[in-house]
């Protein structure tokens, strides 16, 4: 699928986007009923002709993560002969799943990432360095590479290297674009500073952050994002995606929320009853990706909590925008009578340079009136009271802080490609 931004739906009038989306949804239902064993049964009582407007999507049952995991083979559509690459989910919320990709899926993936980087002003004049994993069946690094090269950007596949090695390639390649995980970028920036480099010495203009939010619920930059901008003298951009949804939400040049790509996915944000929430209200992100051949999904509940940003973006695009991913639905906490987003705690800890590393552990019983939260922090014992005080001021609850070390925290994370900040050891009912 050659990248032709003039064919994007982003700048079409709202009415035209809705009309095209309705046609895409009806075609998607027909495709699934004809080709997917799971959806042939799942949609037995629903026909595409029943969907006369987008609001009729409420007639269609959801696709749940646990069902996808247990009945995975029934979702697969592509034959072995048509699969040209296999990727795997991170497994951060359960068992990793193998996802088959056809040649069309790879082209779609390229177009998806090209649209995202293009909206943020990336062009053939840029030089990019990808600082996330390019191996272990990890889809994101490959997707970024394909999207950037489709725009003509001179792209280097560095992967996760030591800060010393990354500095070597930054000085050699003089990139204008970096793609990486915020916590790693802070570590890299501090190394560059210690090596005597200043933002004026660097060529970096834009940094695309993955895996960790860089904005608060109020759409302000987190302390981590502010640190990255200060260290590199560059703007940070948020990009969010997952293997299952095969779609990306990325900041445009206005940096006021992650734009969806309406020709590639239909987006819903719903409450616990499955009903749409008003703009600006937090709900679960539900995605219907269009045009996927290998493993297509319908009304897939991501388990991620976010909100729709109201109003029209100053960039002129009419595509839907979402805020940061505030939490996973399963990780929304009930603690001492307070509903708490883990991000409230991570923002505090990320703002403290004295905290070398940390992980939040959930214990107790899931859904109990009051669950248990512990912060394991690689920090000097004298700073524990200071951390507890700052967390209490932000979250309005007192969370215990246990002194730990980087090696122990790394072990607690287990075998994952992500630097996760929360582990859930709660007992299930």
pLDDT at 4 (0 to 100): 63
CATH number of the CATH domain containing 164: 3.40.50.12780
pLDDT tens-place string over residues 367-387:
555 568 899 999 988 889 899
Q: Is residue 167 part of a domain?
A: yes
pLDDT at 44 (0 to 100): 92
pLDDT tens-place string over residues 190-245:
999 999 999 888 999 999 999 888 999 899 999 899 999 999 999 999 999 999 99
Query: Looking at 241, 271, 306, which one is the last position of a domain?
Result: 241
Residue 149 has, within 13 A of its CA and on its CB side, a CA count of 13
CATH number of the CATH domain containing 351: 3.30.300.30
pTM of structure: 0.85
- Hey, how many other C-beta atoms are within 10 angstroms of the C-beta on 150? 20
pLDDT tens-place string over residues 401-422:
999 998 999 888 876 656 788 8
Q: Are residues 90 and 164 in the same domain?
A: no
Q: Are residues 301 and 343 in the same domain?
A: no
Determine what percent of the chain is predicted with pLDDT higher than 90. Answer: 69
> Among the listed ranges 2-11, 15-24, 96-105, which one has the minimum average pLDDT value?
2-11
Q: Are residues 287 and 316 in the same domain?
A: yes
Residue 5 has pLDDT above 70, yes or no: no
Range of the domain at 376: 332-424
CA separation for the pair 141, 158 (Å, rounded): 10
Q: What is the band of 343 on the pLDDT scale with cuts at 50, 70, 90?
A: confident
Across 107-121, average pLDDT: 95
CA separation for the pair 187, 406 (Å, rounded): 14
Determine what percent of the chain is predicted with pLDDT higher than 70. Answer: 94
Q: How many helices (H) and strands (E) would you count in the chain?
A: 12, 20
Given a contact cutoff of 8 angstroms between Cβ atoms, the answer to whether 109 and 101 are in contact is: yes
Q: Are residues 319 and 341 in the same domain?
A: no
Q: Are residues 101 and 182 in the same domain?
A: no
Question: Measured on CA atoms in the order 302, 299, 74, 249, is the torsion positive or negative?
Answer: negative
Q: Is residue 12 part of a domain?
A: yes
pLDDT tens-place string over residues 300-337:
999 999 999 999 999 999 999 999 998 888 777 777 76
- Count up the domains in the chain and report the number: 3
Q: Are residues 205 and 264 in the same domain?
A: no
pLDDT at 93 (0 to 100): 53
Q: Are residues 151 and 183 in the same domain?
A: yes
pLDDT at 3 (0 to 100): 59
Q: Are residues 293 and 387 in the same domain?
A: no
Q: Is residue 170 part of a domain?
A: yes
Q: Are residues 314 and 344 in the same domain?
A: no
Query: Looking at 241, 263, 291, which one is the last position of a domain?
Result: 241
Q: Is residue 114 part of a domain?
A: no
The closest of 251, 188, 221 to 347, measured between CA atoms, is: 221
pLDDT at 85 (0 to 100): 94
Q: Is residue 193 part of a domain?
A: yes
CA separation for the pair 109, 103 (Å, rounded): 10
Q: Are residues 99 and 208 in the same domain?
A: no
Collapse the DSSP code of 56 into the 3-class scheme (helix H, G, I; strand E, B; otherwise coil) and give the result. Answer: helix
Query: Looking at 276, 296, 328, which one is the last position of a domain?
Result: 328
pLDDT at 363 (0 to 100): 83
pLDDT at 200 (0 to 100): 84
Q: Is residue 23 part of a domain?
A: yes
Q: Are residues 54 and 125 in the same domain?
A: no
Q: Are residues 353 and 380 in the same domain?
A: yes
Q: Is residue 115 part of a domain?
A: no
Q: Is residue 180 part of a domain?
A: yes
pLDDT tens-place string over residues 250-267:
999 999 999 999 999 999
């Amino acid at each position: 699928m050659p990248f032709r931004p003039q064919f994007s739906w982003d700048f079409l009038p709202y009415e035209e986007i809705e009309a095209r989306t309705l046609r895409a949804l009806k075609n998607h239902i027909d495709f699934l009923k004809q080709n997917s064993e799971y959806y042939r049964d799942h949609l037995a009582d629903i026909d595409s002709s029943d969907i006369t407007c987008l609001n009729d999507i409420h007639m269609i049952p959801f696709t749940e993560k646990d069902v996808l995991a247990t009945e995975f083979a029934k979702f697969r559509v592509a034959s072995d002969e048509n699969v040209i690459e296999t990727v795997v989910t991170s497994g951060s919320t359960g068992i990793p799943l193998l996802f088959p990709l056809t040649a069309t899926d790879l082209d779609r993936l390229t177009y998806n990432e090209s649209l995202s980087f293009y909206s943020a002003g990336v062009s053939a004049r840029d030089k990019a360095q990808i600082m996330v994993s390019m191996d272990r069946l990890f889809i994101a690094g490959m997707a970024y590479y394909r999207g950037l090269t489709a725009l003509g950007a001179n792209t280097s596949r560095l992967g996760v290297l030591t800060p010393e090695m990354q500095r070597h390639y930054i000085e050699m390649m003089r990139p204008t674009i970096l793609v990486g995980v915020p916590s790693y970028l802070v570590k890299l920036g501090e190394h560059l500073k210690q090596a005597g480099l200043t933002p004026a010495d660097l060529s970096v203009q834009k940094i695309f952050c993955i895996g960790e939010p860089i904005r608060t619920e109020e759409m302000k930059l987190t302390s981590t994002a502010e640190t990255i901008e200060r260290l590199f003298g560059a703007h940070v951009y948020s990009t969010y995606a997952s293997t299952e949804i095969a779609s990306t939400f990325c900041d445009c040049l206005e940096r006021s929320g992650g734009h969806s790509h309406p020709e590639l996915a239909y987006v819903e944000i719903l409450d616990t009853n499955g009903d749409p929430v008003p703009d600006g209200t937090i709900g679960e992100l539900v995605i219907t990706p269009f045009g996927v051949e290998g493993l297509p999904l319908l009304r897939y509940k991501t388990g991620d909590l976010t909100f729709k940003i109201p109003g029209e973006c100053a960039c002129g695009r009419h595509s839907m925008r979402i805020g940061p991913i505030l939490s996973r639905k399963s990780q929304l906490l009930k603690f001492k009578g307070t509903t708490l987003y883990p991000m409230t705690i991570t923002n505090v800890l990320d703002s403290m340079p004295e905290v070398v590393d940390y992980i939040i552990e959930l214990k107790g019983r899931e859904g109990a009136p009051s669950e248990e939260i512990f912060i394991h922090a690689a920090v000097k014992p004298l700073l524990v009271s200071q951390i507890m005080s700052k967390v209490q001021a932000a979250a309005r609850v007192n969370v215990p802080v246990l002194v730990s070390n980087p090696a122990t925290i790394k072990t607690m994370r287990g075998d994952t490609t992500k630097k996760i900040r929360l582990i859930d050891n709660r007992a299930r009912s």
